[in-house]
Structure 1
Amino acid sequence: MLELFDHPLRLHADPSRVVVRPFHIAWATPTPGAESRTQRMVRAVLEMSPGEARDQLEAVLKDFEARHWQTRRVFMTRYDEIEKLLNLDGSQISDEKRQLIGAYFCHEYSYAAAALMNPSVVPHFDQSGMPAGSQRILMSMRAVGEGHISSVAFREGIITDRNQLQLAPEPPFATAADAVGDELEMPTGPVTVYRHRDSTLSGTVIFPITEQQSKGLEDLRLVKFTHDDGEDEWIGTYTAYNGSAIQSEMMRTKDFRAFDLVPMTGSASRNKGMALFPRKVGGKYMMIGRQDGENVFIIDSDRIDNWDEGQLLLKPEYPWELVQMGNCGPPIETEAGWILLTHGVGAMRKYSIGAALLDLGDPTKVIGRTKEPILAAADQDREGYVPNVVYSCGAIRHGDKLFIPYGIADSSIGFAFVEIEQLLSTMA
């Protein structure tokens, strides 16, 4: 019987977690050939008397300064972007008017009001000072806010070999990563967003930027990828959603300061739930996918950003997965082979998490798989926005255990530890 340690900690949606975001008015209502809303609003502030501008700014700060981190600095940063866009002469504009202009081009957003779910975890880029048996981790989470728009939030923490988990405190204020570029058009294709220079990673949120992403960045599957030259890069595959169509994309970063959001190409990129192996295998990049919405496929490629049709790897076999299967994040390398966490959907659309073992040199070969779930929705974990769901976007190896963060009922996040040898012993 597999023994799984389910940590008591739960993370829940929190409408009080708000962030100041750039308000891109031009994207909402472009007006070609006439004075834009951006120009009209800036002109209106510039035409205010010094006293009126000061009064308006004080009213804004009274409402929001206590709720946000470095509010005046955020407004000034936003003003600098508008100044560059409109070629303004900032030397002729008072500090009060510059801050007020910046305020008109920001808005407050509750990014996790509806749900916090579907986490993935990777080794933190900074392991300095960690005692034996401990590892610093970095977790991504799908945060769902107003309009059911999904964004990517982060949380740092430490795990130990005694099934202990300690998350770094969330800062009182969160900040949005943002792109630098033309405000008059919504970006398309690849885009780079930057974490605010003074913001912690646990206080950073990545929101949709491009038109394809406009309704959500969903289910980031992070992996620490080691290139042939030994250089590490953190890469996450996710689903970009615009309200009607999906596109698989990659988030790529080496420092968690700049994040490249890059659409993938190839026929497989039309599907959700792609998960990248942490290194090349046999000279090829490898990906786990679900090309038909029912089975698990494995794909190889000569390019990390281009993925075509793959081959069938796993199909539903046991009662708890008969409806459909998918991956629960990137494969995890062990001496015995690649451990691939899977999710299965059974009767009454109940989700469970299982696992398969793939050959280390040839991951197209399945060595074994769990007959029974290792984790399933039960008791208090059954209720939520979408009942009877447990779901993970990626686990991590820590010594002789797996640490598995998982989403609960599309509403909250839980955490579990499982012994690798015991897990392997349950496979057939």
Structure 2
Amino acid sequence: MIQVIKEGILLKKTNHNFENEGVLNPAAIRDGEHVHLLYRAVRIGNHSTIGYCRLDGPLFIEQRNETPLLSPEMDYESHGIEDPRIVKIDDTYYLTYTGYDGVNALGCLATSTDLVNFDRKGIIVPQITYEEFNDLAKENATINEKYFRYNQHEHIIEKDGVKMLVWDKNLIFFPRKINGKLFFLHRIRPEIQIVVGVETIEELTPEFWRNYFLNFNDYLVLTPKYKHEISYIGGGCPPIETEFGWLLIYHGVHDTLKGYVYSACAAMLDLDNPQKEIARLPYPLFYPEFHWELKGEVNNVCFPTGAVVFDETLYIYYGAADERIACASMNLQELITELMLNKI
């Protein structure tokens, strides 16, 4: 077993209007000896913006803004900007997040060169109804029956005059191009999917997604396997490049008598072909056990979304009970060694 140190709560909600209900699920990226945290800030009424905090090293707060870094501007994010992740590819930051308009929750992209000014690229995941998705995905193969359970929206076709779409969240780019092309993860419950080898975001047209869904099973990266993740899984932190492959910290969910329990999990993907899973921990990396993880806006949640490495120690930032931000640390090499003992 890997020794995991729960470093405790890093950020709590404040009296500022934009984050008086909770702070959670931060994007994290290291810049020299500093870490930039771009976190989901929730105000009363469940409206989300993106807050900003800079750390000196992995754990010490150096600066925390008193106003949002990013607020909703577009119709597709009118009810909230949620659950950001961030990578830097060449000289550009890729900030992905879930845009929520009060009806649909879909993966969006904004880019920046300075973490101050952001260029919104809009929704980049498919905008498709469940019926359309199901018809395409089943044309050439059988798909997991849980797609029906999680994406039918209780058979509601339209809400407030807006068509109900398949929710496609947890949009996460790989932190560098692979063979000169962009790769990213996304999640239509209950599994994690991948988009491989696009030259530009403009390639993600309706026709692209149609062809993608016709071969849907080819793009499944991870599917629920073990007890702690059996209900569904989703992307967590951006993949971390190691000599053995891409280390992926993701979240796994299982249903219990007390409701869903969210845990942090770990897998390894092939370095040159990240469609291929090569190893996975058969147990959660860490799970809710302390009061700040067990009780909150949503109980029993450890939801990892950002990670950095300092001196061979991996620091994972996560939303704890959907109300506060905490950090867990572990030796990176120990984690890799343990993973490689559990090859697929």
| TM-score category of the 2 structures, normalised to the smaller one | 0.7 to 0.9
For residues 245-269 of structure 1, what are the alpha-carbon distances to aligned partners after superposition, in whole Å with 9 as ceiling and x for unaligned? Answer: 2332112110122111221345279
Post-superposition offset of 1:306: 4.6
Classify the secondary structure of the residue corresponding to 1:407: strand
Counterpart CA distance in 1 for 2:325 and 2:8 is 11
Aligned counterparts, 1:263-274, within 5 A = 263-265=122-124, 267=126, 271-274=168-171
For residues 329-378 of structure 1, what are the alpha-carbon distances to aligned partners after superposition, in whole Å with 9 as ceiling and x for unaligned? Answer: 21111122110111100132101011111111111121101111111011
Counterpart CA distance in 2 for 1:290 and 1:319 is 19
Letter of the structure 2 residue corresponding to residue 123 of structure 1: R
Aligned counterpart, 1:358: 269
Aligned counterpart, 2:313: 401
Pick the structure with greater CA Rg: 1
Aligned counterpart, 1:260: 119
Post-superposition offset of 1:401: 2.3
Q: TM-score w.r.t. structure 2 length?
A: 0.79
Aligned counterpart, 1:237: 96
Classify the secondary structure of the residue corresponding to 1:273: strand
Instruction: Evaluate the alpha carbon distance shift between residue 266 and residue 166 of structure 1 in structure 2; reply closer, same or farther with a 3 A threshold.
Output: closer
Instruction: Evaluate the alpha carbon distance shift between residue 358 and residue 399 of structure 1 in structure 2; reply closer, same or farther with a 3 A threshold.
Output: farther
Counterpart CA distance in 1 for 2:72 and 2:282 is 39
* Conservation of the 8 A alpha-carbon contact between 2:108 and 2:125: no
Aligned counterpart, 2:195: 299
Counterpart CA distance in 1 for 2:203 and 2:288 is 35
Instruction: Evaluate the alpha carbon distance shift between residue 337 and residue 258 of structure 1 in structure 2; reply closer, same or farther with a 3 A threshold.
Output: same
* Conservation of the 8 A alpha-carbon contact between 2:244 and 2:271: yes
**Alignment match of 1:213 (pick from 77, 81, 97):** 77
* Conservation of the 8 A alpha-carbon contact between 2:106 and 2:125: no
Aligned counterparts, 1:17-416, within 5 A = 17=16, 110-124=17-31, 127=32, 135-159=33-57, 165-170=59-64, 174-175=66-67, 204-226=68-90, 232-265=91-124, 267=126, 271-291=168-188, 293-300=189-196, 301-304=198-201, 306-307=203-204, 308=209, 309=212, 311-348=219-256, 349-380=260-291, 381-416=293-328
Instruction: Evaluate the alpha carbon distance shift between residue 142 and residue 398 of structure 1 in structure 2; reply closer, same or farther with a 3 A threshold.
Output: same
Extract unaligned runs of 5+ from structure 1: 18-109, 128-134, 176-203, 227-231
Aligned residues: 286
Counterpart CA distance in 2 for 1:405 and 1:208 is 24
Counterpart CA distance in 2 for 1:363 and 1:147 is 39
For residues 51-74 of structure 1, what are the alpha-carbon distances to aligned partners after superposition, in whole Å with 9 as ceiling and x for unaligned? Answer: xxxxxxxxxxxxxxxxxxxxxxxx
* Conservation of the 8 A alpha-carbon contact between 1:393 and 1:406: yes
Letter of the structure 2 residue corresponding to residue 117 of structure 1: L
Q: TM-score w.r.t. structure 1 length?
A: 0.64
Counterpart CA distance in 1 for 2:124 and 2:64 is 36
Post-superposition offset of 1:233: 1.2
**Higher RCO (CA 8 Å, separation ≥ 6 residues):** 2
* Conservation of the 8 A alpha-carbon contact between 1:371 and 1:426: no
